[in-house]
Amino acid sequence: MLNLRLTILFSILCWSLRVSATPSVTDSATAKKDKVNIAEVAFEHILDAHSWHLWGAGHDALAIPLPVILKTESGWQFFMSSAFHHDTHGAYVVEINGTRLINYKETIYYASETANAHGSYISERVNNGKIELTNAKPLDLSITKNVAQLFLAMGVLLYVFIAMARSYANHGIYTSPKGKQSLLEPLIVFVRDDIAKTNIGNRSERFVPYLLTVFFLILINNIFGLIPIGANVTGNIAFTFVLATITLIVTNVNGNSHYWKHILLPKPLYLWPILMPIELVGIFTKPFALMIRLFANMTAGHIIVISLVGLIFVFESLWISPISVAFALFIDVLECLVALLQAYIFTLLTALFIGSAVADHNNDGVHNDEDEKLLNPSH
């Protein structure tokens, strides 16, 4: 997201100073048109990609090639994303083991027999006024930019926390926390006490590792997303989908009899036909909201920053840049807060859902009539 900003600002500089004497030094693919399509640029930077783009555009782009893993009609195919030669318009056909593949807007399709008018090997048809691609897709398990960042995040988390665990072993646990410990211990204690214990109660301990993993995985990916060349992992719906699904599973697997009674036999009885379906749907709407919330918040923040920088291109003036930069900086600082906040909210709500499923309301370890009294003091 931010790399775009840097690239754009730099090229703006060149542009306004008329350094770009040769038309080949183009700023991006969009430079083909007179006006930059900001929406397209924004989505390009929010969506996943098969290579890790650093800077530059077109054939001059510098990108880290990533492995492409496909299950095609002719079996598993492995090759590096550099095989596409930075092409994302379906114009460059990669032929591997007799399978012809194209990268069209960062999705890999089987190439059509012939190229269309724009040189893309795609076939389109109009369906209800919408243009649809008819090309079939192989099963794509590539190490995309997001997956690569996930691996990186995993490596960092493992390194940091295992090193932290070791420092307890090495320096003893009775000394005051140092270095990583003093930074991360408050967060760990916060998740354990203020998120898990508050919302789940005295049986929170077994859920703490799950909540910690969720919290730190989201947090680190939120932060990586703010770094100029980082990937927008937490703003990807597949990522939030997986986390929300695991929360769904954890919640319902641990649901006690009271939880299920509340869903399947809601009171009062005469409203059962209405309430029961609502409660059943509620099982899914809660994690669904989790999924959408994180995805939308992170994506929205990134889009705002890109849009603000994009103003420079929309107005085609350098004089708008102080405003763009000032606002983008403001949003970026806000995003730092949001990075922490969204990790907190996701973890908090997960704990809340688990808490509602395992709740015994007086913390005696079982759900019984006493708890019912606590729930309905009027009865």
Partner 1 sequence: MFVLGSLITPGVGLIFWTSVVFLLLLFLLGKFAWKPILNAIKTREEHIKDALSSAEKALRDMRELQSNNDKILQQARAERDALLKEARATKDSIIAEAKTKAQEDAMRIVEVARELIENEKNQAQDELRKQVAQLSIEIAEKVLRQELKSASKQMEFVKQESDRIRLS
Query: Of these, 146, 297, 307, 324, which contacts partner 1 (CB under 8 A)?
Result: 146
Query: Of these, 13, 54, 62, 162, which contacts partner 1 (CB under 8 A)?
Result: 162
Query: Of these, 12, 91, 243, 354, which contacts partner 1 (CB under 8 A)?
Result: 243
Taking the least distance from each CB to partner 1, the nearer of 164 and 311 is: 164
**DSSP3 helix / strand / coil % (the chain, rounded to 5):** 60, 10, 30
CA geometry: angle at 331 spanning 328 and 336, to 5°? 125
Confirm or reject binding of residue 183 to partner 1 (CB under 8 A).
no
**Alpha carbon distances (Å) from 30 to 8, 34, 36, 44, 74:** 12, 8, 6, 12, 36
Confirm or reject binding of residue 185 to partner 1 (CB under 8 A).
yes
Confirm or reject binding of residue 62 to partner 1 (CB under 8 A).
no
Confirm or reject binding of residue 173 to partner 1 (CB under 8 A).
yes
Query: Of these, 54, 141, 227, 374, which contacts partner 1 (CB under 8 A)?
Result: 141
Task: Output the smallest distance, CB 229 to partner 1, in A.
Answer: 19
CA-wise closest residue to 295 among 375, 221, 185, 207: 221
Instruction: Count the residues of the shown chain that bind partner 1, applying the rule CB under 8 A.
Output: 52
Confirm or reject binding of residue 28 to partner 1 (CB under 8 A).
no
Taking the least distance from each CB to partner 1, the nearer of 212 and 357 is: 212
Query: Of these, 10, 168, 260, 315, which contacts partner 1 (CB under 8 A)?
Result: 168
Q: Which residues of 105-115 are buried (b: 16+ CB within 10 A; e: fewer)?
A: bbbbbbbbeee
Task: Tell me if 143 sits within 8 A of 90, measured CB to CB.
Answer: no
Confirm or reject binding of residue 246 to partner 1 (CB under 8 A).
yes
Tell me which residue has tokens 């591997």. 96
CA-wise closest residue to 282 among 197, 356, 376: 356
Rounded to an integer, what distance in angstroms lies between the CA atom of residue 90 and that of residue 87? 7
Residues that bind partner 1 (CB under 8 A): 39-40, 43, 46-48, 69, 105-107, 131, 139-144, 146-147, 150-151, 153-154, 157-158, 161-162, 164-165, 168-169, 173-174, 185, 188-189, 192, 208-210, 212-213, 217, 236-239, 241-243, 246, 299
